[in-house]
Each structure stands twice: as structure tokens, then as C-alpha cells.
A and B are shown apart, each in its own frame.
Chain A
Amino acid sequence: MSLLDAPAVTVEPVAAPPRQPGRGRYLPYYLAISPFFLVFAVFWLYPLGYSFFVALQRWDGIGPMHFVGLENFRFLLTDATFWTSILNTLLIWVMSVVPMTVLAMLIAIGLNSSVRFTGLYRIAYFLPNVTSTVAMSLVFASIFSGQFGILNWVLGLFGVDPVPWLTNPWGIRTAVAVMIVWRWVGYNAIIFLAGLQAIPDEVHEAARIDGAGPVQAFFRVTLPLLRPVLLFSVLMSAISGMQVFAESQVLVGNRGGPEEAGLTMVLYFYNEAFYSNDFGYGAAIAWGIFVVVVIFAILNWRIVQRPERRREVAR
């Protein structure tokens, strides 16, 4: 939540500045904050303007630029592969965020009950989040392997026919989504757990006295109180979901595998810009991704906030 509410925060005056005369007394403060602004200006702000300029050119990154106007953007809008990459990214996000949120909530409830060793459980559940995506994508590539994968072997024990995970479009998307769930479920469980612990016991007590069963109490009392935490979690997953790259690239390669099913927006961007060396078009894709991310963030924000607003109107 803090990231979203932050702009409202103002810097409060606290310690009085040292009693030095003149403007020079502020110099140490400006110097103290200057590294961030220098890095930002040189490596982020300037590149933003520059990337718009590049998007108007045909450029391989080495030779001379050729001005082509809005040609790259015009092509982008009719580029079926770009639209496929948007669709893939959204599909993979939905396929990961739904099971992840449910599982994370279950884990959080488990951790919040009076079991022992919660410290150990927490570490176990959190470990995937700090393990290199590239490394674990290599492991998952083997687990999901169609012929030799352990997953198909286990499924075989239950009489299920081998699933062509990495050669079937839905198999690929499922595999990528599973990897995302694996990486983030513990993180979100920890966040939900903190939210659960912040709810005072009296609230549960009151619900019990009013005759609510545990399930009813969860959906009517606990879940609404967790709303800000859920909002944070969904928005964070949306931000990282739009950036999926390494999982797809390691699992099915630069082209996203059969029917480009694993081709995410960032993977397509990487491909065009740094693999095909089409920097102008790459820059246009980057702006396209930016627009998609902004629209997606606004939609998300609205959907998650809506019931709250409706209730306020009803009052």
C-alpha cells in the first residue's frame, strides 16, 4: 500500500538546520541526495526521451539512423506477433495470479494457526523467491520435459498419459504460470500472514458471538479486512507479471516455442531489439509495453477498488 499512498506523504520539518548563514548551509543536503538524481537523470530520464527518438528511426544500434517517422508505431499496431505477446502475457498472468492468491491465503491461514515451527515453514516457503530465475527455469525445463520429465512420470503412476508440456501452447503457458506461482506463493503468503496478524482477536470473537461459523467469518469479516493487503499483492503481481522474461526464454527459447505461446511482451522486446538488432522497432515495442502496463494498472486498480466505492455511495 505504501507505494500507492506515498505521494500524499509530505516531508515534515524536524531537526532544525545547522545555524550557518547563507544558502551554503543547504549544500550538504543537496549533495546527500545527489547520487540518486544523477544516476536517474543519466541512466533513466535521458534514456526515456532518447527512446522516443529511437522509436522514430530505423537503426541497428551501430550504423547510421534513418528517420522513418511514425512507421514503427504504425507497424506495431498491425503486428500480429505483438498482439500475441500481449495476449500470452495476460493469459500467463491470470493463470498464475488466481491459483497463487488462493494458495497463498491457505498457507497464510495455516501459518497463522497455532502450529509450531512457523519460522521454518516461512523460510521454506520463501526460499523460491530469492533463488535465481534462470537457474530454476533450467530445473523446471527438466521437470516439465515431455519424454523424460519427472512430472509426466509421476502423472503416469496415476494413469495419466504424458502431457506434452513444452510443445503444446497451453502446456507452455501452464509451465510458465507454475514457475511464477512457485516463485511468488510464499512471498504473498508472508504478506497475507502479516495482514491476518494485524486483525485484532476481538473482531473474530465478535463474529463468533454473532453466530458466524469459521467459513462465514472468513469471507464476511477477515477477507474484507484484508482488502488493502490483497490489493497490494494483486498490483505487485500485475507489475511483475507484465515483466515475465527469463522463465519463457529459458523454457522455450527466444521465439516463445510452438505457436509463440511462451512469447511474452518483454521477450518479444528483447528479441527485436537485442537479438534481431532492430533498435527502432524495439523502442516502439517498449512504448507499446508501457501503454499496456499503464492501461492494465488502471483497470486493476478500478476493479479491486470498486466494491468499496459502491458501499460508500450506498451509505
Chain B
Amino acid sequence: MIWSRRGRVITYLAMTAGAVILLFPYYWLTVMASNTTADIYAYPPRLTFGGHFLANIGQVFARIDFFGSLLNTLVVAVATTLLVLLFDSLAAFTFAKYRFPGSSVLFGLLLATFVVPTQLAAIPQFAIMADLGWVGSLKALVIPAAANAFGIFWMRQYCQSALPDELLEAARMDGCGFLRTYWNIAVPVLRPALAFLGIFTFVNSWNDYLWPLVVLIDSHHVTLQVALAQLNGLYVKDYSVVMAGTLVAIVPLIVVFLFGARHFIRNITAGALKG
């Protein structure tokens, strides 16, 4: 497309303005986290960074078990991601490349699970966790999320296009069994897909709120999201402290995202366009 010089300038300006507006909440979060609560409530408001971030974050650490909940979130997100990567890719590889009695029916059943709304299961899940004695335990977050239909479905599509049958046939000729073929042939080829699914799962697990809020009730082991909500509920007057906690809580995830952003964004569109 041929663009006039003026059209191009307007496009740049509009795109930049949009980005500035979308990124403004991050800037504002940092401003609030580095000023005092009095500065936040001042009129006109302070629009620039202040020097109180360390004092604020010190208050956060004194009031909630920030590192404990950070560690909990990290443990849950890493464990969930590793289990999802293993279970989803193994199932996807099997569904994509092998046929066995009932395989079509089972895959159809898997797709049908997409329609199950999460709240419908929440109350009984809570009851099950109570029976298992898992209420307040991080297991209650990891185990139900250890394998999911979306990942298997998405991964299976990838397997079908990225894994040529000749490759598997050659592996079979060389005497590779099922597991060895998966581990030595499929996994290396699937690495880009695993990276996407990994970031996707990690981000969702890190940000999950409703279920941790429910199942970690009256617990000392909360995740970061629940801790943030508690910090807000308990110390709502000290807004700069709440904001300092919020800022520190989102930074790790932003780093993870920036690390794999290009790849991640390219893959997120794949699901919308295929089919």
C-alpha cells in the first residue's frame, strides 16, 4: 500500500498515542508506588516519580508475607506449567500420530469439555478438596490444572503440521518404542510449541484469582493475587503501600512475557486463523 507522507505521520501519531494511553496505568502505578499516600491524594496530583518506593515496599514486607506468597505463586505456576507441558504434549502427540480403539471418540469427548463452565464445578471441587484435606494447600491449585483440553487441542494441531510421518517411520525402523519416539523425536521438534504453551500456562496460573481465593481460605499459604487483594482490603488507607506491592507483583510476569513476547504473540493468533 502506498501511503502519503502525511498519512504516515498521522498513523505514527495515532499508534503512539494509543500505546501511551494503554501503557499509562503502568506509569501511574510506578508513580503511586514511589510517592507517599499524601502525595497520591494531593491536588493537583504528583505526576512524577518520588523517592518513597523503598519505604513503601518495606511496609509491604512488614504487613504481608510477600515473599511467602511470591514463593507460593512461583511454585504453583512452575509445577502447573511443567505438568501441563508433559501431559498435554504427550496426549497431543498420541492423538495426532496414532490411532487406537476409541481414539476418535476420546478426542471428541476432550473437545466437548471446552463447554464446561468453571463455576459449575467450583462448589463440588471445593467439597472434594475438603474431603482430600487439600483446602489451604497448594496441591489444590496444581492438580486440577495439571492437564487441559486447550493445550492438547492446540498442541495436536502443531504435531500434525510439524511432525512428518516419515520421521516417525524412520524412528520406528530404528527400533524406537513409543516413549523414545516421543522424547527423542517429537519433543525436540515441538520445542517452539512447548515454549508458547509454557508461557501461556505460566501467565494464566500466575494471574489466577477466583479459585485460589476460594480454596486457600483462612490459610497462611496464599498466592500473590490473593495477598494483593488482602493488602488492599486491610490497608486501604495506605494506597502507596498497596501500589508498591502491586508493582513488585507484576514485574516478574512482565519480564517473562517480554522474554518470549514475539514468539508468544505470533502463536496466539494461530488458534483464531486455523480451521
Q: Which residues from chain A sit less than 8 Å from chain B, CB to CB?
A: 1-7, 10-18, 26, 28-30, 32-33, 35-37, 39-40, 42-44, 46-48, 50-51, 54, 61, 103, 106-107, 110-111, 113-115, 119, 121-128, 130-136, 138-140, 142-143, 147-148, 150, 153, 182, 185-187, 190-191, 193-195, 198, 204, 229, 232-233, 243, 245-246, 249-250, 266, 269-270, 273-274, 279, 282-283, 286-287, 289-290, 293
- The reply to whether A42 and B128 form a contact with Cβ atoms under 8 Å apart is yes
Q: Shortest CB–CB separation between residue B24 and chain A, in angstroms? A: 8
Q: How far is the CA of A136 from the CA of B30 in the complex (A)?
A: 12
| Contact across chains for A139 and B246 when beta carbons are under 8 A apart | yes
- Contact, CB under 8 Å: A266 / B147: no
**B146 to chain A: closest residue by CB:** A39
With A6-B153, A51-B121 known as contacts, the answer to whether A138 contacts B273 (CB < 8 A) is no
Q: Which residue of B lies closest to A204 (CB)?
A: B1
Q: Is the interface of B mostly helix, strand, loop or mixed?
A: helix
B123 touches A273 (CB 8 A): yes
A123 touches B143 (CB 8 A): no
- The complex places the Cα of A73 from the Cα of B44 at a distance, in Å, of 52
Count B interface residues, CB 8 Å: 108
Question: Are A2's CB and B157's CB within 8 A?
Answer: yes
Closest to B83 in A: A35
Contact call B19/A121, Cβ cutoff below 8 A: yes
What are some 20 contacts across the A-B interface (CB < 8 A)? Answer: A1-B274, A15-B98, A28-B178, A28-B179, A32-B182, A36-B110, A39-B144, A40-B110, A48-B120, A107-B15, A127-B26, A130-B257, A132-B224, A139-B25, A139-B246, A150-B28, A190-B269, A195-B272, A195-B273, A198-B273
Contacts of B275 in A (CB 8 A): 1-6
Counting chain B CB atoms within 10 Å of each CB, the highest count among A123, A132, A249 belongs to A132
The 4 A-B residue pairs with the shortest CB-CB distance in the complex, in nearest-first order: A2-B275, A47-B124, A194-B269, A50-B124
Does B53 make an interface contact (CB < 8 A)?
no
Taking CB as reference atom, which chain A residue is nearest B94? Answer: A32
Query: Is B184 positioned at the interface, with any CB of A under 8 Å from its CB?
Result: no
Which B residues touch A44, using CB under 8 A?
113, 116, 121, 144
Contacts of A266 in B (CB 8 A): 119, 210
Q: Which of A10, A37, A115, A287 contacts B15 (CB 8 A)?
A: A115
Q: Is the CB of A132 within 8 A of B177?
A: no
Tell me, in angstroms, the Cα distance from A44 to B29 when the chains sit together: 38
- B246 with A135: CB separation less than 8 A: yes
Q: A135 contacts B249, CB within 8 Å?
A: yes
B261 to chain A, nearest CB (A): 5
A142 adjacent to B32 (CB under 8 Å)? yes
CB-defined contacts of B108 to chain A, threshold 8 Å:
7
| A37 CA / B97 CA spacing, docked (Å) | 19
Closest CB of chain B to A269's CB: distance in Å? Answer: 5
B124 x A36 contact (CB < 8 A): no
Known contacts A3-B114, A6-B111; A33/B91 CB under 8 A:
yes
Known: A7-B108, A124-B23. 6 other contacts (CB 8 A): A14-B96, A48-B116, A61-B130, A126-B265, A131-B207, A232-B272
- Please, which residue of chain B has its CB at the minimum distance from the CB of A122? B265
A32 touches B271 (CB 8 A): no
Stretch at the interface among B60-68, B99-107, B190-198: B99-107
Chain A residues in 8 Å Cβ range of B23: 124, 127
> CB of B217 within 8 A of chain A?
yes
Q: Which residue of A lies closest to B242 (CB)?
A: A138
Contacts of A233 in B (CB 8 A): 272
Query: What is the CA–CA distance of A268 and B47 in the complex, to the nearest angstrom?
Result: 37
In angstroms, how far is the closest chain B Cβ from the Cβ of A158? 14
Is B74 among interface residues, defined by CB-CB distance under 8 A?
no
Query: Chain A contacts of B120 at CB under 8 A?
Result: 47-48, 51, 286-287, 289-290
Known: A36-B147, A124-B19, A148-B40. A15 touches B100 (CB 8 A): no
Question: In angstroms, how far is the closest chain B Cβ from the Cβ of A257?
Answer: 15
* Min C-beta distance of A244 to chain B, whole Å: 11
Contact A18 B177 (CB under 8 A): yes
Task: Report how far A199 CA is from B214 CA in the complex, Å.
Answer: 46
Do B124 and A10 touch (CB < 8 A)? no
* Cα distance, A35 to B92, chains bound together (Å): 12
Contacts of B262 in A (CB 8 A): 119, 123
Over the window 152-164 of chain B, the binary record of Cβ atoms lying under 8 Å from chain A Cβ atoms (1 yes, 0 no) is 1100010000000
Q: A114-B3, A115-B12, A125-B22 are in contact. Are A43 and B217 (CB under 8 A)?
A: no
